[in-house]
């Protein structure tokens, strides 16, 4: 039986038998070529372009200040922000090509000589060399893993060829620039530009683009700070390559110097007071917008917050300037500011550092409201038809049915019969307990809930003592309620996320505070007038004397100085500052803070509040509150003038003297909102001492 392949050669003897004929060599080569073509064809047909690797398509979600332009922070599993190639300067594109693949626009997606050179260097142990084209690097990063195996390299080769057939060079370069790692935790050209130079990619200079191109090969090896000499050599290599390719003139090349880079940001990105803003935005994206953690961390969202950069800076500065350091161990302070009638939270101070203390003193901590709760009783009373002109006894040490013990005023001060404006100005406890009895503590609770306090606020019960601030709301809830006063009875739900836009530019969410009227303008005008008296001559007079614009507000201090607050507003902005102390997780008195024995709402809280409002409202027009309407009917006896004595000569008959009739004021019609019902029996309770 004959052989198909004549090898060893039968017609020869000796060693010559093992020398293949030219026909055999040609045949084997042809067969090998055909087999390679068949194998490649099979691979080309069977190896599909996979879905992009989730890791490299993940983009950071950027949160902006309320201007929608200035970045506040970002959420990211990977710090990446993809941009179109049109936003990358041509000089930067050329720098990357000069560094990584000078024949990019002419090659077919792979470089046989480059691969051979890389293999040879690897075998001989030479210095690091690049053997892949930009297309191959793009495929490796975008579609495959970093696994080093022959099968992965084969897949990379096949996919590179297919990609070249299906995508334009511009799209390949765009995706490459958006996926590669530049060091400093930055993936993609946009975040790299921010990380190294603090500017977006479209503003990169020639020198800056060349440096970013230089670090691609090895971000740690060519770090411009720790490895500056090596980075400068690579930087020069890139610029020389640009000149050799005609992308940069020699004269311009001679003027370019190594660029300065900004200091690398270290530490937790959520550190500092603004970390609380980022955490609050993240929570709202999940609870109100309905996004998952993966969508937030990897979705490339553009989130516009409600936080005003200047107002937030004013909040941080006010805390730093007015918060004492003496005796401050365990003291926490929170601030929340809301735009009336809209609900946008424009500033929030939850603490000095989220990383060190994750509890937000503005949105999570609770503290007894003290006398900041009294305006809800006043609102409920005026709503029921009472008048600011009504008078009550301000005598100290009074007893009331349903309250065990005596009710005392701050500093045991006694007043005579005073109207509700004076009682609010001086925060007279005995008057307000009497007012709460007349109105009904359930109506006071209902007014507080309608204004903005959650129904499940700790201690919010329909007992007589609730008017003295026995409930413990959060600072942001109290700010919401006072914003309702500022908006003349229009309540809006607080929110911190104004809009969410996808990476493709689609607006997925747009917020609204959903404003609704809960109190009549007349009732609110009278409540505001009484609260203006507090800042004119009462416990909050520091605010009125130093803000230089109309302001209304109320101080609040709980028994034993366990909390101190100031809640106030102008027509444009409502804000609350509250502080408390905890030692080993146990509430403690604020006494001793700043060397003061008795810390009240009229001390540090009102000073912080005023400093904040001064900065937040800088440049804003000065607006007046509506004048009081004095609605309702007063309980005070009407004044009756004495009888008129006739001047004529008296006669023996007794003249008939008519007593003039004093007209009864007509109550101003008020809108009675539908308030949440409050159930439960009001228990008798000991009277706390609410302080101004």
Residue 646: how many other CB atoms lie within 10 Å:
10
Q: Is residue 147 annotated as part of the catalytic site, yes or no?
A: no
* pLDDT tens sequence across 496-554: 999 999 888 888 899 987 899 999 999 999 999 999 999 999 999 999 999 999 999 99
Tokens coding 287: 């609870």
Question: Please, what's the largest Cα pairwise distance for the chain?
Answer: 177
Contact partners, residue 404, CB within 8 Å, separation at least 6? 684, 685, 686, 687
Q: Is 315 helix (H, G, I), strand (E, B) or coil?
A: helix
Reply yes or no on whether the pLDDT at 236 is more than 90: yes
Higher per-residue confidence, 133 vs 456? 456
Higher per-residue confidence, 639 vs 178? 178
Q: Contact 172/134 with Cβ under 8 angstroms?
A: yes
> What's the Rg (C-alpha) of the chain?
38
- Its pTM stands at 0.75
The pLDDT value recorded for residue 660 is: 36
Q: Would you mind telling me the total number of residues written for the chain in this entry?
A: 692
Whether omega before 281 lies within 30 degrees of 0, making that bond cis, reads no
Contact partners, residue 446, CB within 8 Å, separation at least 6? 380, 675, 676, 677, 678
Q: Contact 437/415 with Cβ under 8 angstroms?
A: no
Res. 672 pLDDT band, cuts 50 70 90: very low
One-character DSSP codes across 60-100: PEEEE-TTSSSEEEEE-SS-B----GGGS-HHHHHHHHHHH
Average the pLDDT over each of 19-28, 287-296, 451-460, 676-685 and give the range with the smallest value: 676-685
Parallel, antiparallel, or unpaired for β 685-686 and 403-404?
Answer: parallel
The pLDDT value recorded for residue 681 is: 32
What is the residue whose two structure tokens read 């936080």?
307
Q: Contact 171/135 with Cβ under 8 angstroms?
A: no
Distance between terminal CA atoms of the chain?
117
For residues 36-56, average pLDDT: 59
Res. 134 pLDDT band, cuts 50 70 90: confident
Q: Of 573, 488, 481, 490, which is closest to residue 523 (Cα–Cα)?
A: 488
Provide the CATH topology of domain 79-255.
Answer: Penicillin binding protein transpeptidase fold (1.10.3810)
Contact partners, residue 640, CB within 8 Å, separation at least 6? 659, 662
Reply yes or no on whether the pLDDT at 387 is more than 90: yes
Q: Of 455, 450, 524, which is closest to residue 491 (Cα–Cα)?
A: 450
Contact partners, residue 620, CB within 8 Å, separation at least 6? 572
Parallel, antiparallel, or unpaired for β 507-510 and 497-501?
Answer: antiparallel
The pLDDT value recorded for residue 44 is: 53
The pLDDT value recorded for residue 40 is: 55
Mean pLDDT for the chain? 85
Reply yes or no on whether the pLDDT at 171 is more than 60: yes
Q: Which of 61, 100, 387, 589 is catalytic?
A: 100
Q: Of 391, 428, 440, 367, which is closest to residue 554 (Cα–Cα)?
A: 428
Q: Of 478, 652, 498, 624, which is closest to residue 555 (Cα–Cα)?
A: 478
Q: 411-419 long-range contacts, Cβ below 8 Å, gap at least 24?
A: 417/391, 417/392, 417/393, 417/636, 418/391, 418/392, 418/394, 419/388, 419/389, 419/390, 419/391, 419/636
Higher per-residue confidence, 239 vs 113? 239
Higher per-residue confidence, 642 vs 113? 113
Q: What are the boundaries of each domain within the chain?
A: 14-45, 79-255
The pLDDT value recorded for residue 675 is: 35
The pLDDT value recorded for residue 270 is: 76
CA angle 473-406-528, nearest 5°?
Answer: 45
One-character DSSP codes across 360-377: -TTTT-B---GGGGHHHH
Q: Which of 82, 371, 387, 563 is catalytic?
A: 371
Q: How far apart are CA 426 and CA 420, in angstroms?
A: 10
For residues 452-466, average pLDDT: 96
For residues 103-107, average pLDDT: 88
Q: How far apart are CA 471 and CA 99, in angstroms?
A: 66
Q: Write down the number of H helices and E strands in the chain.
A: 22, 19
Q: Of 686, 460, 431, which is closest to residue 559 (Cα–Cα)?
A: 686
Task: Tell me how far the alpha carbon of residue 491 is from its chain's centroid.
Answer: 22
Q: State what percent of residues in the chain have pLDDT above 70.
A: 77
The pLDDT value recorded for residue 663 is: 35
Parallel, antiparallel, or unpaired for β 331-338 and 574-583?
Answer: antiparallel
Parallel, antiparallel, or unpaired for β 497-501 and 302-305?
Answer: antiparallel
Q: Contact 564/590 with Cβ under 8 angstroms?
A: yes
Contact partners, residue 506, CB within 8 Å, separation at least 6? none
* pLDDT tens sequence across 571-617: 999 999 999 999 888 899 999 999 999 999 999 999 999 999 999 99
The pLDDT value recorded for residue 243 is: 97
**Phi, psi angles (nearest 5°) of residue 691:** -115, 155
Higher per-residue confidence, 671 vs 120? 120
Res. 306 pLDDT band, cuts 50 70 90: very high
Higher per-residue confidence, 253 vs 33? 253
For residues 425-435, average pLDDT: 97
Q: Between 169-179 and 189-197, two packed helices, what is the crossing angle to 10 degrees?
A: 50
Q: How far apart are CA 398 and CA 571, in angstroms?
A: 37
Tokens coding 664: 């009864």
Q: Of 302, 314, 345, which is closest to residue 69 (Cα–Cα)?
A: 302
Q: Is residue 371 annotated as part of the catalytic site, yes or no?
A: yes
Q: Is 492 helix (H, G, I), strand (E, B) or coil?
A: coil
One-character DSSP codes across 94-126: HHHHHHH-TTTTTS-S--HHHHHHHHHHHHHT-
Distances (CA, A) of 551 to 116, 375, 388, 542: 78, 15, 19, 11
Q: Contact 657/644 with Cβ under 8 angstroms?
A: yes
Tokens coding 193: 């530009």
The pLDDT value recorded for residue 507 is: 84
One-character DSSP codes across 156-180: HHHHHHHHHHHS-HHHHHHHHHHHS
Q: Contact 504/593 with Cβ under 8 angstroms?
A: no
Q: How far apart are CA 295 and CA 433, in angstroms?
A: 52
Reply yes or no on whether the pLDDT at 569 is more than 90: yes
Highest mean pLDDT out of 25-34, 275-284, 497-506:
275-284
């Amino acid at each position: 039986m004959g052989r198909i392949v004549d090898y060893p050669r039968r017609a020869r003897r000796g060693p010559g038998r093992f020398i293949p004929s030219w026909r055999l060599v040609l045949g084997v080569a042809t067969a090998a070529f055909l087999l390679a073509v068949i194998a490649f064809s099979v691979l080309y047909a069977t190896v599909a372009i996979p879905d992009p690797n989730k890791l490299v398509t993940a983009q950071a979600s950027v949160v902006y200040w309320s201007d929608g332009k200035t970045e506040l922070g970002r959420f990211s599993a990977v710090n990446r922000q993809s941009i179109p190639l049109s936003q990358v300067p041509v000089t930067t594109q050329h720098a990357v090509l000069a560094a990584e693949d000078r024949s990019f626009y002419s090659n077919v997606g792979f470089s046989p000589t480059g691969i051979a050179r890389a293999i040879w260097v690897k075998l001989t142990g030479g210095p690091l060399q690049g053997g892949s084209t930009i297309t191959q690097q793009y495929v490796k990063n975008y579609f495959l893993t970093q696994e080093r195996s022959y099968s992965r390299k084969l897949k990379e080769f096949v996919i590179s060829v297919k990609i070249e057939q299906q995508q334009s060079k511009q799209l390949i370069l765009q995706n490459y620039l958006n996926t590669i790692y530049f060091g400093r935790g930055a993936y993609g050209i946009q975040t790299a530009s921010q990380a190294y130079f603090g500017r977006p990619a479209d503003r990169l200079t020639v020198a800056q683009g060349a440096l970013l191109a230089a670090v691609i090969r090895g971000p740690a090896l060519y770090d411009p700070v720790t490895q500056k000499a090596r980075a400068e050599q690579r930087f020069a290599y890139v610029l020389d390559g640009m000149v050799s390719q005609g992308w940069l003139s020699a004269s311009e090349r001679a003027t370019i110097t190594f660029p300065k880079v900004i200091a690398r940001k270290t530490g937790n990105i959520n550190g500092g007071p603004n970390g609380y803003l980022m955490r609050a935005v993240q929570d709202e994206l999940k609870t109100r917008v309905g996004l998952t953690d993966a969508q937030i961390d990897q979705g490339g969202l553009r989130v516009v917050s409600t936080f005003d950069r200047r107002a937030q800076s004013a909040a941080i500065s006010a805390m730093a300037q007015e918060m004492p350091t003496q005796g401050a161990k365990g003291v926490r302070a929170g601030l929340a500011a809301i735009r009336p009638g809209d609900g946008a939270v424009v500033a929030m101070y939850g603490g000095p550092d989220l990383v060190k203390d994750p509890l937000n003193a503005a949105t999570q901590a609770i503290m007894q409201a003290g006398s900041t709760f009294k305006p809800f009783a006043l609102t409920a009373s005026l709503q029921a038809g009472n008048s600011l002109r009504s008078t009550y006894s301000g005598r100290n040490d009074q007893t009331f049915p349903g309250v065990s013990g005596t009710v005392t005023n701050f500093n045991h001060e006694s007043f005579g019969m005073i109207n509700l404006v004076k009682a609010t100005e001086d925060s007279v406890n005995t008057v307000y307990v009497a007012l709460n009895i007349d109105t009904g503590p359930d109506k006071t609770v209902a007014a507080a809930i309608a204004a903005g306090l959650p129904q499940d606020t700790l201690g919010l019960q329909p007992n007589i003592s609730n008017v003295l601030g026995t409930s413990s709301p959060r600072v942001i809830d109290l700010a919401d309620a006072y914003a309702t006063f500022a908006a003349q009875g229009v309540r809006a739900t607080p929110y911190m996320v104004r809009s969410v836009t996808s990476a493709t530019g689609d607006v997925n969410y747009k917020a609204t505070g959903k404003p609704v009227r809960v109190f009549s303008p007349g009732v609110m005008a009278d409540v505001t007038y009484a609260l203006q008296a507090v800042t004119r001559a009462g416990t909050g007079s520091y605010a009125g004397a130093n803000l230089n614009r109309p302001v209304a507000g109320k101080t609040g201090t709980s028994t034993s100085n366990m909390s101190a607050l100031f809640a106030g507003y102008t027509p444009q902005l409502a804000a609350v500052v509250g502080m408390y102390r905890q030692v080993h997780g146990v509430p403690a008195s604020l006494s001793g803070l700043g060397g003061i024995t008795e810390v009240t709402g009229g001390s540090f809280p009102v000073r912080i509040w005023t400093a904040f409002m001064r900065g937040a409202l800088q440049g804003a027009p000065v607006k007046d509150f509506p004048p009081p309407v004095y609605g309702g009917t007063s309980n005070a006896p009407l004044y009756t003038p004495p009888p008129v004595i006739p001047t004529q000569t008296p006669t023996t008959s007794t003249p008939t003297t008519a007593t003039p009739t004093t007209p009864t004021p007509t109550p101003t019609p008020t809108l009675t909102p539908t308030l949440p019902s409050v159930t439960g029996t009001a228990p008798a309770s000991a009277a706390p001492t609410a302080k101004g």
